[in-house]
Amino acid sequence: MEEGNAKRRRGLGLVTPNACTECRKKRTKCDGQTPCGRCASLKGIQCVYEIPVRQSKEEMRTEIDRLKALQSLNERVFTALVSDESEQVLEQLRRGETIESITGRLNTGKSSPSTEAAPSRGSVASSSYSTAPFSETSQSNLRASSWPEWTGESSTAQSVAEASQPETMAWSPSLDNTWNQQSNIPFHRDVTADIMSDGGRAIFLGSGSYGNLEPPNYPTPWTSVTSEADLIQHLVALYFCWEYPTFATLDQRMFLRDFRDGIPRYCSSMLVNALLAVGSRCSTHYATRADPNDSSTAGDHFFAESVRLFEQEKDHHHLTTIQALGLMSIREASRGHTSSSIFYSSQSISLAVEMGLHLDMSRDKGSEMNDERTVRCATFWGAFSLDQCWSLSVGKLPHTSVTISLPPKPDILEDIEASPWVPYSGEGKGTSNLTGNSDAPHDRSPLAPSYTQPSNVQSVYKTFCELSEIVHQSLYVLYSPGEPITSKSLLRVYTKYLRWYDSIPAVLKLGHNFTPAVLFSHMYYHYAILLLFRPFIKLDIASSGVSPRDVCHQAAHAISTLLTSYNQLYTLRRTPSFVPFFILSSTITHLVAFGNHHAGAERLNQGMSDLRIMTECHGFARRARQIIFLLRTIWNIGIDLERLPDDDGDDEGDIYLACRPKTKSTNLWSLNVRPEDIIPNITPVKNISENPLFWLFPFQGRPLLEDGGILEKSGFKLPVR
């Protein structure tokens, strides 16, 4: 039987992928020639090959690759047309040269560094997709969710997890170079030229038109630190470009209106100085520094003025004071001044509740009351979200009660929602009037066509507030006294996170929008899940397929991959203030995985490299590196980590000293406090009497968990080794 089949089997070389029409009708073998042998032997027969409706996968892949390559060439030329190379590119087009030859010249070194440094959105999406090993056990299914499937605990939770899988942290290669097609905003050539005239600054300053924005006529100076309107506008634009709207306590439209008109209703000197202090972190100009020779002093003079005005103020119950405190907290978080940052954040949310900002206002009292309601809502939600982030990061209950009645989210206005976003830096065109030079290398062009995109700023803000609500609920699950956590309550919160991710608007899903605020929101989501499960990575959850250890590793991978995309798009020189905290948590998780032989050192080294890059703009990045160095030593993990040239010392003793508690600090990130007694190791729990919780910083809170023989009553068990 087998021999008969072998004789009837045709060789692959004889198979014709497409037979002519006549041979198909007669169901005879066609040799694929033009004309084929059969048709040539017959008279009056025309040999016709019809293109099949369904082509082979290989042909389709080839055609897609060809179109992608062509589109990439076109985008390269378009980018050059809005750069300093525009004249020579136009001349080449007039001469009738092909796109391939023009692109070849651009890529051989005749193009400007600014256009070469900027990767296309498609390439970033594709590379992020191919370098995202979110699941150690299923590397082949990169499109699937990184989260394990649910079993046993909740059928609802399982359906939510499954529903979330297609979108959870999976960039698709099909998104290559499709950004401009997805955008609904018609960025016309004349508008783009106007935006380029000032590097995109006008977009963030709320100009009625994109071009010719005149410096505002300040009836009363908002700051005594500088009188240069151009510098002030530069820093305001930087804040609204790179930090806004996450944790934003102010409404951009109302603030800018009063800022330009000099009206102290929704704008104040304290608020402006605080905002300028935050914006200074994103600038490399000497004028933004208290000490021109020290980049770490960027914004110090603005911040000192804001503090002076706060201490001088006798009654802090003002919207602008609450808003300023939020910005001061964000600025101190970036500097690594955790105690100060938490203080300002606590004051901000406490004053917001005292003023009743969480109470809803009627919508039908005229436009003026609608403006008031909008600002009140924005102020409360910014203070609330910031308080949740700090409480999550250091392990404590928030400053609002578990049953607080939260106000509605700010309304979404279509004109603001559809406003464009560009990566403004102030290092390119339109900043020649700034006093002082920059010590930064030449940045890439402040605007490339593929980087201009709808901001979706209000959808981001509303969705981020919804995520903060879940963080608020998770904090009471983790840290409520008298209510030890159970696996059911833990999984219940996890389900809410998955549902949130599954319900985010399509415009905020990865592949549709890549603004810093969107990438930051996705990072914060994974950061929240990582800190939800991290205390339990030494435990398994009974009757469930969810592994705290695996979830933490996958969340850490997701954060690292998102940061890689951010770096490729915008560099790490301008990142939101809490990003170093995200990297610290993800890198610690990579260190644990490496120490237990569950992963290689690639992600760990990437985290250390990312922190090194951010030390210039984030003071906390240096502390984060010191923490990881010390943890490596305490856990005796054999890996050489890259050191900064000016890291505190060259030996382990100096790192221990750098992580010692300080008398002027609450020491929330101090590790060197009797480490042999307090700092846990990463080896498995050996007996029931040993504390199974995994927590790192002795002065931070930790969940309350039953121990000993009562552990399993809470739904946990020690892993079987």
pLDDT digits (tens, 9 = 90+) for 540-579: 999 888 999 999 999 999 999 999 999 998 999 899 999 9
Closest listed residue to residue 322, CA positions, set 366, 396, 279, 384:
384
CB within 8 Å of 254: residues ≥ 6 apart? 266, 371, 374, 375
Cβ atoms of 228 and 426 closer than 8 Å: no
> How far, in Å, CA of 248 to CA of 374, rounded?
13
> How far, in Å, CA of 594 to CA of 7, rounded?
56
Residue type, 337: H
Please report how the helices 457-479 and 367-394 are oriented relative to each other, as an axis angle in degrees rounded to 10. Answer: 40
Please, which residues bridge with residue 600 across strands? none
3-state secondary structure of 563: helix
Q: Per the structure block, which two tokens stand in for 2?
A: 């087998």
Task: Please report the pLDDT score of residue 601 as a whole number.
Answer: 86
The answer to whether residue 110 scores a pLDDT higher than 90 is no
3-state secondary structure of 9: coil
Query: pTM of whole model > 0.85?
Result: no
- The percentage of residues in the chain with a pLDDT greater than 90, rounded to a whole number, is 41
> Which phi and psi angles does 337 have, rounded to 5°?
-90, 75
Give how far the C-alpha of residue 633 lies from the chain's centroid of Cα atoms, to the nearest Å. Answer: 30
Rounded mean pLDDT of 182-191?
A: 37
Between 8 and 268, the higher pLDDT residue: 268
Rounded mean pLDDT of 527-539?
A: 96
Q: Per the structure block, which two tokens stand in for 603?
A: 């992600």
Closest listed residue to residue 207, CA positions, set 242, 243, 233, 175:
233
Between 161 and 107, the higher pLDDT residue: 107
Between 419 and 554, the higher pLDDT residue: 554
Of 256-260, 517-521, 594-598, the range with the lowest mean pLDDT is 594-598
Rounded mean pLDDT of 228-254?
A: 94
Element (H, E) at 717: strand 716-717
> How far, in Å, CA of 348 to CA of 329, rounded?
9
CB within 8 Å of 685: residues ≥ 6 apart? 538, 692, 718, 719
The answer to whether residue 55 scores a pLDDT higher than 60 is no
Task: Please report the pLDDT score of residue 136 as a whole number.
Answer: 36
The confidence band for 143, taking pLDDT boundaries of 50, 70 and 90, is: very low
Element (H, E) at 716: strand 716-717
Between 559 and 168, the higher pLDDT residue: 559
> How far, in Å, CA of 289 to CA of 616, rounded?
13
Task: Please report the pLDDT score of residue 618 as a whole number.
Answer: 95
Q: How far is CA 31 from CA 12, 40, 52, 290, in A?
A: 13, 11, 17, 81
Q: Is 26 exposed, middle or buried (0-12, 13-18, 19+ CB in 10 A)?
A: exposed
Task: Please report the pLDDT score of residue 486 as a whole number.
Answer: 94
Buried-state track 508-544, b at ≥16 Cβ within 10 A, e below 16: bebbbbbbbbbbbbbbbbbbbbbbbbbbbbbbbbeeb
Which long-range contacts (C-beta less than 8 Å, at least 24 apart) are formed by 339-348? Answer: 339/664, 339/665, 339/666, 339/668, 341/390, 342/390, 342/394, 342/666, 342/668, 345/383, 345/386, 345/387, 345/390, 346/387, 346/399, 347/316, 348/249, 348/322, 348/383, 348/386, 348/387
Between 60 and 544, the higher pLDDT residue: 544
Of 102-111, 479-488, 597-606, 612-621, the range with the lowest mean pLDDT is 102-111
Residue type, 284: T
Rounded mean pLDDT of 379-392?
A: 98
Q: Per the structure block, which two tokens stand in for 439?
A: 């010590």
Give how far the C-alpha of residue 634 lies from the chain's centroid of Cα atoms, to the nearest Å. Answer: 31
Which residue is listed with tokens 């770096």?
Answer: 567
Task: Please report the pLDDT score of residue 51 as a whole number.
Answer: 66
Of 467-476, 480-489, 530-539, the range with the lowest mean pLDDT is 480-489
Cβ atoms of 414 and 376 closer than 8 Å: no
Q: Per the structure block, which two tokens stand in for 636?
A: 């005796």
Neighbours of 711 (CB within 10 A): 17
The confidence band for 186, taking pLDDT boundaries of 50, 70 and 90, is: very low
Task: Please report the pLDDT score of residue 121 as a whole number.
Answer: 43
Instruction: Please write the tens of the pLDDT for every residue from 68-108.
Output: 777 777 777 776 665 556 677 777 777 777 877 887 777 66
3-state secondary structure of 35: coil
> How far, in Å, CA of 62 to CA of 59, rounded?
5
CB within 8 Å of 84: residues ≥ 6 apart? 112, 114
The answer to whether residue 16 scores a pLDDT higher than 80 is no
Instruction: Please write the tens of the pLDDT for every residue from 446-481.
Output: 444 457 888 999 999 999 999 999 999 999 999 999
Between 695 and 651, the higher pLDDT residue: 695
Buried-state track 414-435, b at ≥16 Cβ within 10 A, e below 16: eebbebbbbbbbbbbbbbeebe
Give how far the C-alpha of residue 376 lies from the chain's centroid of Cα atoms, to the nearest Å. Answer: 27
Alpha helices (runs of H) in 198-318, residue ranges in sequence order: 201-204, 229-242, 252-261, 269-280, 300-312
Element (H, E) at 549: helix 548-570
Strand runs (DSSP E) across 390-456, as ranges?
420-421, 453-454
> Which phi and psi angles does 717 have, rounded to 5°?
-155, 155
Closest listed residue to residue 421, CA positions, set 512, 488, 515, 351:
515
Task: Please report the pLDDT score of residue 52 as a whole number.
Answer: 62
Instruction: Please write the tens of the pLDDT for every residue from 332-361.
Output: 999 999 999 999 999 999 999 999 999 876
Please, which residues bridge with residue 285 across strands? 438
Rounded mean pLDDT of 194-203?
A: 61
The answer to whether residue 187 scores a pLDDT higher than 80 is no
Cβ atoms of 203 and 422 closer than 8 Å: yes
Between 110 and 622, the higher pLDDT residue: 622
The confidence band for 199, taking pLDDT boundaries of 50, 70 and 90, is: low
Q: What is the mean pLDDT of the chain?
A: 77
Rounded mean pLDDT of 641-661?
A: 63
The answer to whether residue 306 scores a pLDDT higher than 60 is yes
Residues making up the chain, counted from first to last: 721
Q: Per the structure block, which two tokens stand in for 77?
A: 């030329």
The answer to whether residue 589 scores a pLDDT higher than 90 is yes
Q: Per the structure block, which two tokens stand in for 552?
A: 């933490």
The answer to whether residue 138 scores a pLDDT higher than 60 is no
> How far, in Å, CA of 658 to CA of 622, rounded?
10
The confidence band for 229, taking pLDDT boundaries of 50, 70 and 90, is: confident
Of 172-181, 360-369, 415-424, 608-617, the range with the lowest mean pLDDT is 172-181
Between 593 and 429, the higher pLDDT residue: 593
Instruction: Please write the tens of the pLDDT for every residue from 423-439.
Output: 988 775 444 445 445 55
Rounded mean pLDDT of 132-151?
A: 34
Rounded mean pLDDT of 14-26?
A: 78
In DSSP notation, 356-374 reads: TTTS---S-S-HHHHHHHH
The confidence band for 114, taking pLDDT boundaries of 50, 70 and 90, is: very low
Task: Please report the pLDDT score of residue 657 as a whole number.
Answer: 77
Rounded mean pLDDT of 109-136?
A: 37
Between 180 and 703, the higher pLDDT residue: 703
Q: Is 308 exposed, middle or buried (0-12, 13-18, 19+ CB in 10 A)?
A: middle
Cβ atoms of 426 and 204 closer than 8 Å: no
Rounded mean pLDDT of 401-405?
A: 93
Q: Per the structure block, which two tokens stand in for 592?
A: 């644990």
Between 96 and 416, the higher pLDDT residue: 416
The confidence band for 207, taking pLDDT boundaries of 50, 70 and 90, is: low
CB within 8 Å of 315: residues ≥ 6 apart? none
Please report how the helices 319-335 and 367-394 are oriented relative to each other, as an axis angle in degrees rounded to 10. Answer: 30
Task: Please report the pLDDT score of residue 715 as a whole number.
Answer: 84
> How far, in Å, CA of 284 to CA of 617, rounded?
9
Of 58-62, 79-83, 600-604, the range with the lowest mean pLDDT is 79-83
Q: How far is CA 18 from CA 27, 39, 61, in A?
A: 12, 15, 18
Instruction: Please write the tens of the pLDDT for every residue from 499-524.
Output: 999 999 988 988 788 899 999 999 99
> How far, in Å, CA of 443 to CA of 125, rounded?
22
The answer to whether residue 302 scores a pLDDT higher than 80 is yes
